[in-house]
């Protein structure tokens, strides 16, 4: 009797194992630096040291999974499409790389930085909205502050960027977010230039 019961359960167990094997593999994404060098870069700016961070994000998106909007007051976590690193890390890296391209200085570091001397400028960013709607659009709303360390003078601004998603996949969603981050980076670069020119 025991043998018959054990044998009878084998197809069930095999079916469960086969079912588990059909789950799609997780895919991982990063934000890309998409800004390019502009006429604002100059040899004078190449020696500037800029520290980016901290960057904060809403707790609802502070997780590895993509958080996608499914309705006015509803979101869904996608377990199979994830950020390759914490979102704050993704954002600070992309913004730092964008600033390198826009301002022409390679000396852009990320928080927490290890520098022997104080940077010339510090950038703090509070992301208030980071919305993802696959196949439709992304929305990014950020308040940022650039502070000149030598005298504490600051420039605070707000960037709201909505980008259309050019495809149905999550790679298109990440690309749209990257374009929005580039717009935030450009505004931060403009504020840095304004402070650098002010005496």
Report the C-alpha gap between 72 and 27 in whole angstroms.
26
SS3 content of the chain, % helix, strand, coil (to 5): 35, 35, 35
The pLDDT tens digits of the residues spanning 115-143 come to: 777 899 999 999 999 999 999 999 999 99
Residue 33 has a pLDDT of: 95
pTM above 0.95, yes or no: no
Residue 10 has pLDDT above 70, yes or no: no
Give, for 173, the enclosing helix (H) or strand (E).
helix 170-197
Residue 83 has a pLDDT of: 98
Residue 7 has a pLDDT of: 40
Report the C-alpha gap between 38 and 52 in whole angstroms.
20
Report the C-alpha gap between 64 and 76 in whole angstroms.
13
The DSSP bridge pattern shows strands 137-148 and 121-133 to be antiparallel
Residue 5 has a pLDDT of: 38
Residue 43 has a pLDDT of: 59
Residue 3 has a pLDDT of: 39
Confidence at 13, pLDDT banded by 50, 70, 90: very low
The pLDDT tens digits of the residues spanning 62-113 come to: 999 999 999 888 999 999 999 999 999 999 999 999 999 999 999 999 988 7
Residue 2 has pLDDT above 50, yes or no: no
Residue 46 has pLDDT above 70, yes or no: yes
Report the C-alpha gap between 142 and 151 in whole angstroms.
25
Q: Which domains does the chain have, with CATH numbers?
A: 37-197 (3.40.50.10610)
Residue 146 has pLDDT above 50, yes or no: yes
Report the C-alpha gap between 149 and 154 in whole angstroms.
9
Confidence at 187, pLDDT banded by 50, 70, 90: very high
């Amino acid at each position: 009797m025991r043998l018959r019961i054990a044998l009878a359960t084998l197809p069930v167990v095999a079916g469960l194992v086969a079912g588990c094997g059909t789950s799609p593999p997780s895919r991982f994404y990063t934000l890309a630096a998409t800004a390019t060098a502009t006429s604002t870069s100059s040899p004078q700016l190449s020696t500037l040291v800029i520290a980016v961070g901290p960057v904060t994000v809403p707790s609802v998106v502070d997780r590895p999974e993509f958080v996608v909007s499914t309705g006015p007051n509803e979101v869904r976590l996608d377990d199979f499409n994830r950020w390759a690193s914490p979102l704050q890390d993704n954002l600070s890296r992309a913004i730092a790389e964008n600033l390198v391209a826009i301002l022409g200085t390679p000396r852009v570091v990320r928080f927490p930085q290890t520098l022997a001397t104080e940077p010339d400028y510090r950038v703090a960013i509070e992301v208030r909205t980071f919305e993802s709607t696959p196949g439709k659009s992304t929305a990014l709303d950020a308040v940022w502050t650039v502070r000149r360390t030598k005298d504490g003078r600051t420039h605070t601004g707000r960037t709201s960027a909505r980008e259309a998603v050019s495809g149905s996949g999550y790679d298109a969603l990440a690309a749209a977010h990257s374009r929005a981050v580039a717009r935030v980076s450009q505004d931060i670069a403009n504020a840095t230039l304004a402070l650098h020119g002010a005496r």
